[in-house]
Every structure is written in C-alpha cells, then in structure tokens.
Chains A and B, each alone.
Chain A
Amino acid sequence: MLSRVTVVCFAGSYAVALALELSRLVLRSSLRGLLMLGFTAAGLVAHTAFLFYQAERINAQLHGVGLPLSSTQHWYLTAAWLLAAMYLFLAVSHPRVQFGLFFLPLVLALIGVGHYLADPNPASTPPDPSIWGLIHGSSLLLATVAVLVAMVAGVMYLGQVQRLKRKAVPHHGLYLPSLEWLQRVNGRGLNAGMAMLAVGIVSGMVLNVIYAERHQRFVPWTDPVIVITVLMFGWLAGCRLAGWAYRPAREGRKVAYLTLVSFVFLVFALAVGLLLETRHSGQRSVRPMFPGRAAAASRQPTMRVLGAALRAEGEAGRIGL
C-alpha cells in the first residue's frame, strides 16, 4: 500500500494548494481556505507515508541497521516535510495570511531537488550505526529549515515594509503579518539556525575524528562543504553578535537583508554538496538527471548529497562508535 505512494502524490497536492493560494490574489471564495488546507493535509499524509516507506526501504537495504536520513533524497524530502508541516500550522493559525505563496514554492523546490538531483540510496559501504551521525544529519536538517523559515519571514518583512512606506492599504489577496511578528520569527529562525549549525559542526568534527580512528578515512578540514558550512555559521554568529552588541543592527530591514545573505550561503552550501566532488561523505552515486552523465558520476567518489547536512546522515549509517 505504502509503496504505491509516489512523489507525484504529495508534490501534486502541494502544487494544487499553491495554485489555490495564488488564486486568492484575484478571486474570493469561502470554500478555498478549506480546500487549501485539505490539499496540504492530504499532501502531508502522503508525504509522511512516502518518507516512512523510504526509511523502511533504506533500513532493509542496510540489513536492518539503517538510520533515518540515511540517503540524500530522504534528507531533502524530510526538509520539505518539515516546511510543509510548518506551513499547515501557520495556515490554520493565521488563515488570512498567504503563507503558502512563500512556503509552498520552497517545499516544491526541495522535493524537486530531492527527487531529481539527490541520491535515493544510502551509502554503499557497510554501515555502522552511530548516534553522532544522526545528530549531525538532524541538526543540519533543522538548521536548513530554520534558515529557510527565517528567509521567508525576511522576504515577507521587506514586502510589508515596502507597502507601509508606499502608504498603500493591504491588498485583499495579499495579506502579510505585522512587522513585529515577522521580525520575531526571523530572529528566532536565525538563532535556531545558528544553534543547530553549531551542533552540526561540532558533531561533524567528532564524527570525523571517530571515522579517522576506526576507518582510517578523514575528511580534510579544507573540504568545500566544511568550509562553507563554517563560513555560514561564522556569518550567522557575527550577525547575531553585532545585533546583541549594537541594538539598531537587529531592528528592521537590516536583519531581513542579513537573512537573505544567510539564505544565499545556504543555497551555496547545498549546491556545493550536490554538484561538486568533495570528500565530505563516502562513495555515492548520483541519481541520473542526465543519463549520459550518470555513469561517470557513479564512478567517482562523490560528496554530492545535500551539502554539509546530507553527509551527516550518510555518516550516520556508516560510522560506529
């Protein structure tokens, strides 16, 4: 039964919810809210079932010792699931606000990247379950989601500021939350992202040491994924420190712009993890987006997967304590 749930089922539901959200800009309907929630909830149920089935499959592939988030694709789809769940919660608690216009494209983008670019299989080397790997993968997953949420709040903040400065009344189809709320969510998102990133980096270091001791393999500290992850953490920490030391730096548009830069860092980190050859994780094969390139990709040790994070869970399946 679960095996019949495909990416199309939940991506389609989210796409319909997004189309309904877009229709709010031009048409009014009392039924739409319910339909939107219905499609999102249905998508989330299918999404949950799909993730569950994938986790079971990975576990079977790794002879019962696979941990959650053991494949890049699973990691991306879990990030999409978290964002979709957050959207559903916000849509129920703030029915007037069009959160879907901002959240659902991100959800669909994560699903798209996960489905077409990320590796659906766990690492090919025999796994040793490790709690550090799980902590590493989960914390980087949560950091990614937190930065994405902060980015959404930042974009909405800038839109709201622009409207208020233009002295325009709210458009009936595009209602945004107050600046105060958006700033709070933005700040919390960045704080959570920074904290999770710190946990991810520390757990990654521990993993690297353990991995070197037990498997005589070591990811160089100059690996692009590690460098960009540390840079991103430094950027976030710097922004927050500046905000604590100098209050105007944590008010208003400045924070929103800083968040957008953080988002660029994140995209860069994910892209490096997906597209460049790095030694950050074990041997991986890339899901063939272009069949001609697939064979070549599968021959090389890749570090593709989801930037910093992905490897984390990859490691989870591979390193034993």
Chain B
Amino acid sequence: MSIRVVGCSHHKAPIAVREQLAFNSAEARKALGRLRQRFPDVEAVLLSTCNRVELYTAAETHPPPSREELVAFLAECHGLAPADIDAYLDERSGLEAVQHLFQVASSLDSMVVGEPQILSQVKQAYQLATEEGSTGPLLHAAFQAALKTARRVAGETAIHQRRVSVPSVAVADFAQQIFERFEDKRTLVIGAGEMAEETLRYLRAEGVQHITVVNRSPERAEELARRWNGQTMAWADLPHALARADLVISTTGSAEPIVSASLFRQVEAVRNGRPLFILDLAVPRDFDPAIGDRPNVYLYSVDDLREACQRNRAERDKELPRALRIIDQEAERFLADLHHRATSPLIRRLHEQWQKPKEEELRRLFNKLPQLDEHARQEVREAFDRLLNKLLHPPLASLRDEARNGVPHALIDALARLFRLKD
C-alpha cells in the first residue's frame, strides 16, 4: 500500500521542458488509459498545469511502478528519450508524496504561493482520472484529503489573501476594493511596457473588456491593442481618454510627468466625480503625485505597491509555518488512517471469530434461564457485547498505535497467529 509521484515543476524544470511534457485533457485521458493497460492494478492521476506535470500513482497490494518505469512512460507519451527528461523529474513516495500533494493543492508549492487556480486544477485532474476509471480507494482518499487540507490552509491562514507581485497587488488589493465589477469599466493603458501587459492579464481575469491604448509610437500601441482586443487613441487625445477611463495603467519611459496636476484638473471637470484608479508603473512617474490627493482619485506608484508587496510577503512568511504545520498534521493523519485501513480485514475477522462463541454462550444461557423476559435478555446481550469490546480493545488500540508508523505487518501476523485467524 504505497503512493508515488514522479514529475517536474517550475522549481527545477525550465519552461521549455515543461511545455514538452505538458498534457492537454485529451492527451491526459489517453495517457491514463495507456498506463492502466500497462499497470492494471495501479491507480493514477495526471496533473498537468503550466507550472508542473506530475503523475501520481498508488497500489494497494504491491509497490507502484518504479521511478524508472514512470519516467520512461512520461517520455514515451511525448516521443522523448527518458534520458532527455530524467534530470528534471523528481520522485517522492510515501509520506513525502502525500505531503507534496497536499502542498500543491494548498498552493504552497506554486510559483506565486497562494494563487487560487491550482486547487481547481488539482480537482480537474482528479475528476478526469476518476472519469477514466484510473483512481481507486488510495488516490480517492489521498485527493479528498488534499482538498480538505487545502480548505483548512485557506481557512486557517491568510496565505491566499497575500499577493506578492506588483500587478497582482494592484488588482486584488486596490482595484477590486474600488470597483465591484470590471466588465463595464474602461481601462486606459498609457505606454506599452511589460508590466502593463501583466497587469492587463490580471484585469482581464477579473472581466475587463474595454481596453484603450495610448502610446507615442502608434505602431506599438496598435500591436498591444491587437493582442488584447482593444482600441487605440492618438497621443494628442490623452486628456479625452483620461476623461473616459475608470482604470489607468501608465508605463511610459518619459523623463517628465505626462499628466500634470493642472492637466488633470481640466480632465476632472468632465469626469463628474467618477472614481479613477491610476496605476503609475513608470519610473520616473507619469502622474504628478498631487493628483492622488484629489477626491475619488486613487493613485498608486510602483513604490507604493512594492511596499504593499513587502508587507504582504512578510505577512505571508509569518503564515507559512502555520500552513506547513497543517500539511504535516493532515499528511500524518492521512497515512495513519491509510495504514490503519490495512488492519481492517484482521479486525473484521477478529470480531467475526468472537461473535460465534458469544452467540453460543448466549443461547446456552437463555436455555437455562427461560424465565428471563425480553428486556432482561437484551440487558444480557448488551453486557456480552461490552465484555467483547473490552477484551478486543487492547489489541485493537495497539494496532492503531502501530499504524501511525506504517502498516504493522509484524503485529498483524502476530495477532493472526495468536487468535488463529484464517484468511
């Protein structure tokens, strides 16, 4: 009864390798089918995201496939030689594999720790494997426990609420605190910097649809607008674009502020007091800082957000040990339960074996005491049951204690011999 995971992640494998090893859902279905044909008694779940490709396997009666077999299988699925990918793949088994799965599901192993998508990706991978009939009791239990652990980590720590990149903080901790929905908001991008695109990625995920790009170079503006399905406006129309915008992301390389306080006052006059979120990612800054003092204007520079990121990082680091403690607790509990499950056939046989003499003794007693009414008989039956449970308690407690450290094979054998239990 063991679990093994072989795979690669952003920690060790460059993106080129991860791309080579990635599976889309049709490929994953095919791969799971092929794995089942090759290893019929093995349970498997294949998790493939942009940051990791991991193959979880488990078997109840014998060890799951070895690292070499799984590496060869993954390479074969992509028409690669095992040697090409071997160096990028890690293998974990037993407690380590369980802890790893729990960390992945709880987003503690993600590139951006706490990002929420990974949990749904783990769920999808598990669901897909279940649909394909690749999961069994071990991986069912493991993935259910992983989802439960992820919920505990999310509920008992603030790790998921702490963003640490400038664009994610800008969107999650500030823009979302101003606007309830983004579908009807107009976003203005001034300049065409990389950071602007990254911020757009987060905003698009929140539903932003109307994007306008203003840049001194119309070609670059066109290019960016095309990528994001937006529109462009001429540089000279910047005040007009500002008057219409709800969110502004500015990343020009200008040496002087491109929006002065006086220019903004003119714009403000036609904005009717609508809230404006300005993300000034340029260094030096594109917006005069005095604009941030105007009512209904929320202006954030890179420095403001970096400070927020650092505070978040410090807060998150404080939460990390707590999250890891939860992972350890849940992994140990899961394994103890798993090992204890290995003892259940023995426990069942033990109970069954002792039921027979109990019933015989009860029958004999009731024959000798026919005057007992049904109530008295029930009392006697319950007394016998209590006695039986008390007699069985010490060996079962020992089994449970031993199961914390692994399947207690020696104790199972000893009990089977002691009580003459047959398979």
> Within the complex, what minimum Cβ distance (angstroms) separates B115 from chain A?
17
Indicate if the CB atoms of B300 and A30 lie closer than 8 Å: no
The CA-CA distance from A167 to B299 in the complex, in Å, is: 9
Q: Mark B145-183, 1 if CB is under 8 A from A, else 0.
A: 000000110011110010000000100011011111100
Q: Smallest CB-CB separation from A247: which chain B residue?
A: B272
> Within the complex, what minimum Cβ distance (angstroms) separates B264 from chain A?
15
CB-defined contacts of A176 to chain B, threshold 8 Å: 177
The CA-CA distance from A168 to B315 in the complex, in Å, is: 13
Of A29, A179, A248, the residue contacting B272 (CB under 8 A) is A248
CB-defined contacts of B173 to chain A, threshold 8 Å: 169-170
> Within the complex, what minimum Cβ distance (angstroms) separates B120 from chain A?
19
Indicate if the CB atoms of A164 and B174 lie closer than 8 Å: yes
Indicate if the CB atoms of B300 and A252 lie closer than 8 Å: no
CB-defined contacts of B300 to chain A, threshold 8 Å: 167
The CA-CA distance from A103 to B296 in the complex, in Å, is: 26
Indicate if the CB atoms of A179 and B158 lie closer than 8 Å: no
Indicate if the CB atoms of A164 and B312 lie closer than 8 Å: no
Residue B295 CB within 8 A of the other chain: yes
The CA-CA distance from A242 to B304 in the complex, in Å, is: 36
Q: Report if A164-B158 is in contact (Cβ < 8 Å); known contacts: A169-B169, A248-B273.
A: no
The CA-CA distance from A157 to B161 in the complex, in Å, is: 21
> Within the complex, what minimum Cβ distance (angstroms) separates B309 from chain A?
9
Residue B275 CB within 8 A of the other chain: yes
Of A169, A247, A253, the residue contacting B308 (CB under 8 A) is A169
Indicate if the CB atoms of B273 and A169 lie closer than 8 Å: no
Q: Mark B173-200, 1 if CB is under 8 A from A, else 0.
A: 1101111110000000000000000000
Q: Smallest CB-CB separation from A29: which chain B residue?
A: B156
Residue B333 CB within 8 A of the other chain: no
CB-defined contacts of A223 to chain B, threshold 8 Å: none
Q: Report if A169-B311 is in contact (Cβ < 8 Å); known contacts: A28-B158, A29-B156.
A: yes
Indicate if the CB atoms of A251 and B156 lie closer than 8 Å: no
Indicate if the CB atoms of B275 and A180 lie closer than 8 Å: yes
Indicate if the CB atoms of A165 and B158 lie closer than 8 Å: no
Indicate if the CB atoms of B177 and A179 lie closer than 8 Å: yes
Q: Smallest CB-CB separation from A165: which chain B residue?
A: B298
- Pick the most buried of B157, B174, B308: most chain A CB atoms within 10 A of its CB: B174
Indicate if the CB atoms of B275 and A251 lie closer than 8 Å: yes
> Within the complex, what minimum Cβ distance (angstroms) separates B314 from chain A?
11
Q: Report if A179-B275 is in contact (Cβ < 8 Å); known contacts: A28-B157, A172-B158, A172-B161.
A: yes
Q: Smallest CB-CB separation from B301: which chain A residue?
A: A167
Categorize the interface residue count of chain A: 20 to 34
Indicate if the CB atoms of A253 and B275 lie closer than 8 Å: no
Residue B274 CB within 8 A of the other chain: yes
- Residues in B252-304 with C-beta less than 8 Å from chain A: 272-275, 292, 295-296, 298, 300, 304
CB-defined contacts of A160 to chain B, threshold 8 Å: 177
- Residues in A150-166 with C-beta less than 8 Å from chain B: 160, 163-165
CB-defined contacts of A250 to chain B, threshold 8 Å: 273
Indicate if the CB atoms of B156 and A28 lie closer than 8 Å: yes
Of A29, A167, A169, A180, the residue contacting B178 (CB under 8 A) is A180
CB-defined contacts of A167 to chain B, threshold 8 Å: 174, 300, 304, 307-308
Indicate if the CB atoms of B178 and A251 lie closer than 8 Å: no
Q: Mark A126-167, 1 if CB is under 8 A from B, else 0.
A: 000000000000000000000000000000000010011101
- Residues in A175-223 with C-beta less than 8 Å from chain B: 176-181, 184
Q: Report if A251-B273 is in contact (Cβ < 8 Å); known contacts: A28-B157, A169-B308.
A: yes
> Within the complex, what minimum Cβ distance (angstroms) separates A257 from chain B?
11
The CA-CA distance from A184 to B181 in the complex, in Å, is: 12
CB-defined contacts of B178 to chain A, threshold 8 Å: 164, 178-180
Of B151, B176, B273, B312, the residue contacting A252 (CB under 8 A) is B273
Q: Smallest CB-CB separation from B309: which chain A residue?
A: A169
Q: Smallest CB-CB separation from B153: which chain A residue?
A: A30
Indicate if the CB atoms of B275 and A252 lie closer than 8 Å: yes
CB-defined contacts of B176 to chain A, threshold 8 Å: 178
- Pick the most buried of B275, B292, B307: most chain A CB atoms within 10 A of its CB: B275
Q: Smallest CB-CB separation from A168: which chain B residue?
A: B308
Indicate if the CB atoms of B295 and A253 lie closer than 8 Å: yes
CB-defined contacts of A177 to chain B, threshold 8 Å: 180
The CA-CA distance from A29 to B158 in the complex, in Å, is: 10
The CA-CA distance from A167 to B300 in the complex, in Å, is: 7
The CA-CA distance from A247 to B296 in the complex, in Å, is: 13
CB-defined contacts of A253 to chain B, threshold 8 Å: 295-296
> Within the complex, what minimum Cβ distance (angstroms) separates A77 from chain B?
33
> Within the complex, what minimum Cβ distance (angstroms) separates A183 from chain B?
9
The CA-CA distance from A169 to B163 in the complex, in Å, is: 10
Q: Residues on B close to A: CB < 8 A?
A: 151-152, 155-158, 161, 169, 173-174, 176-181, 272-275, 292, 295-296, 298, 300, 304, 307-308, 311-312, 315
**New A-B contacts (7) at CB < 8 Å, excluding given A172-B315, A178-B176:** A28-B158, A29-B155, A163-B177, A168-B308, A178-B180, A247-B272, A251-B274
Between-chain CB contacts (< 8 Å), 5 pairs = A28-B155, A29-B156, A30-B155, A30-B156, A254-B273
The 6 residue pairs across chains A and B that have the minimum distance between CB atoms: A30-B155, A248-B273, A251-B273, A247-B272, A180-B180, A172-B158
